[in-house]
């Protein structure tokens, strides 16, 4: 299959080219500088692929696909290891949902702990994180049983990981841009979709190995264009442990989403009060991760930081912002993108700026028709703080084809 060239190519002095699927969408100058720095690393293979939702990130650029030879950049993977999406179609129809969706949102919020770490509350004289379980349910126990041996082995070598909220985070949402949604497709079919990753323990693993990579770079006096681009090479002291740790965190993230999906299905059954089937078309995909793949005849490590695998025929999820539409897509297997596509719309402004620019009235208007939080704490997730999802999809028309267009009617945020 041949592909019409739909990207702009940036030539980098002393580096590999950067191929950017950004026609019709804005790209920050600071993000482009980050990409140029990454392209100068001696371990980068062939070129860097940049998705239309690209924006500046801590450590490395969000919306980038970085192929590396016999080395991995921990900060390019990031600290939300395995963050991604899961979605499934149900046999329910729009008319099966109640007119008042408030009780459904409440049931989902009761079924899945959500929120960020600093928030705590007292129960029976004790204090715990609102976004963690006090007593994890059976689904979380079953998932954790698949992970506990690997976690204990990691903790033997890195004891600081033990002091994380790991087991009690299994099956929990977190905060920030993580969400749970009930959506309708164009034909009126009901979908469940959610976004989360490896929670606190994944953050701890990512943070620890980013620090170790920086120390390793200092030891070998690498002339890095950015200290955050420190990498671990095969055969180095920490490389094998990082691969083991990041693989474990990615498994945690996948299972975490499966547990939450099970809990949300239960909440929907309780609210609807009628039988229905699920998993008619199910997708569970990472968009912050690294794995070994073969491209252009070469075995490489592919790091997708804010990007989704889009191999030919593979289903993926590209969510819009809160209040906007989302897409279930099928990959076209474009080799120039390393078989990848965007992971969402991509921010156009920081959370801090969004809260300064927009008001609560703006947020209420932008989320009209969606049963969700409408308060000042979620203004930073207002759709206008993100790129136009239609422009993003047009810019990657040679990477994916749209299978379903979804519009959320319920949105739960941390």
Give the catalytic positions in this structure. Answer: 343
| 3-state SS record for 95-121 | HHCCCCCHHHHHHHHHHCCCCCCCCEE
Name the DSSP class of 21: -
CA distance 205 to 200: 9
CA distance 11 to 304: 21
Orientation of helix 239-272 relative to helix 138-145, angle to 10°: 160
Name the DSSP class of 40: T
Element housing 315 (H / E): strand 315-318
Report the first-to-last Cα separation within the chain, whole angstroms: 43
- Beta-strand pair 48-55/18-20: parallel
Per the CB < 8 A criterion, the answer to whether 72 and 364 are in contact is: no
Residue 118's contacts (CB-CB under 8 Å, 6 or more residues apart) are none
- Cα–Cα separations (whole angstroms), residue 203 to 127, 165, 192, 303: 22, 10, 26, 17
Helix, strand and coil percent figures for the chain, each rounded to 5: 35, 30, 35
Per the CB < 8 A criterion, the answer to whether 399 and 326 are in contact is: no
The number of helix segments (H) and strand segments (E) in the chain equals 10, 19
How many other C-beta atoms lie within 10 A of the C-beta of residue 310? 29
- The tally of CA atoms less than 13 A away on the side-chain side of residue 368 is 4
Q: Counting Cβ atoms within 10 Å, is residue 394 exposed (0-12), middle (13-18) or buried (19+)? A: middle
Residue 110's contacts (CB-CB under 8 Å, 6 or more residues apart) are 267
Which one, of 33, 29, 31, 35, lies nearest residue 17 by Cα?
A: 35
Name the DSSP class of 310: -
């Amino acid at each position: 299959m041949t592909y019409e060239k739909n990207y702009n190519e940036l030539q980098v002095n002393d580096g590999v080219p950067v191929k950017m699927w950004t026609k019709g969408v804005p790209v920050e100058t600071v993000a482009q500088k980050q990409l140029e720095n990454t392209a100068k690393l001696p371990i980068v293979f062939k070129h860097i692929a940049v998705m239309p939702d690209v924006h500046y990130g801590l450590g490395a650029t969000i919306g980038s696909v970085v192929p590396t030879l016999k080395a991995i950049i921990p900060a390019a993977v990031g600290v939300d290891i395995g963050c991604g999406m899961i979605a499934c179609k149900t046999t329910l129809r729009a008319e099966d949902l109640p007119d008042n969706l408030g009780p459904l949102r409440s049931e989902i919020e009761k079924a899945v702990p959500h929120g960020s770490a600093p928030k705590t509350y007292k129960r029976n004289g004790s204090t715990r994180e609102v976004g963690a379980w006090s007593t994890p349910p059976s689904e979380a126990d079953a998932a954790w049983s698949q992970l506990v041996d690997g976690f204990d082995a990691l903790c033997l070598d890195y004891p600081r990981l033990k002091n994380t909220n790991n087991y009690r985070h299994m099956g929990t949402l977190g905060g920030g841009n993580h969400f749970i949604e009930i959506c309708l497709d164009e034909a009126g079919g009901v979908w469940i979709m959610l976004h989360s990753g490896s929670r606190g323990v994944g953050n701890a693993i990512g943070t620890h190995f980013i620090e170790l990579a920086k120390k390793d770079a200092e030891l070998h006096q690498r002339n890095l264009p950015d200290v955050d681009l420190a990498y671990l090479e095969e055969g180095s002291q920490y490389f094998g442990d990082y691969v083991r740790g990041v693989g474990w965190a990615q498994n945690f993230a996948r299972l975490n989403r499966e547990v939450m999906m099970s809990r949300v299905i239960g909440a929907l059954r309780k609210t609807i009060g009628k039988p229905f089937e699920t998993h008619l078309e199910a997708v569970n995909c990472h968009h912050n991760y690294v794995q070994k793949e073969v491209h252009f005849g070469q075995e490489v490590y592919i790091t997708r930081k804010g990007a989704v695998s889009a191999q030919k025929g593979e289903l993926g999820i590209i969510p819009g912002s809160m209040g906007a539409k989302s897409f279930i897509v099928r990959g076209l297997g474009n080799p120039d993108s390393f078989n990848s596509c965007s992971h969402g719309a991509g921010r156009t402004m920081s959370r801090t700026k969004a809260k300064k620019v927009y008001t609560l009235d703006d947020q209420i208007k932008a989320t009209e028709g969606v049963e969700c939080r409408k308060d000042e704490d979620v203004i930073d997730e207002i759709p206008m703080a993100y790129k136009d999802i239609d422009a993003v999809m047009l810019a990657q028309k040679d990477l994916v084809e749209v299978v379903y267009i979804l519009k959320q009617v319920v949105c739960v945020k941390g």
